[in-house]
Amino acid sequence: MMSELPLDDEHAPIYSMGQVADMLNVQQAYLRRLDEHDVVTPSRSEGGRRRYSRRDIMTVQRVTRMAGEGMTLIAIRRILELEREVDRLREELAAAHARLEQRESGS
């Protein structure tokens, strides 16, 4: 069986800041600002350079759209935080439902 390549993993940090800036047609300074404001925090290489995953790139695209609609980076960061919290709570709820179903079917 073939092992997965980093390209197959949307979380693999394989793109440089320059590549992402070129892909999305944004300035590198904009990407640095997103990182400094904890909106999109890419991984770091051993040399300390920012490395972006496909997931990070999709988030930058989304953030750029929201900023284009007039939202501040603070508001965007809060929206992303709340979405992550909702996702976490959904997972907890699904796990609780599964435990409840197990108890009901086991008794």
Residue pair 13/4 in contact by the 8 Å Cβ criterion: no
| Residue spans per domain, the chain | 7-106
Tell me the fold of 7-106: Multidrug-efflux Transporter Regulator; Chain: A; Domain 2 (1.10.1660)
Q: What is the pTM of this model?
A: 0.80
Average pLDDT, the chain: 93
Please report, for residues 59, 78, 85, 96, the alpha-carbon distance to residue 99 in angstroms, rounded to integers and kept in the order given: 33, 31, 21, 5
pLDDT, tens only, 27-72: 999 999 999 999 999 999 999 999 999 999 999 999 999 999 999 9
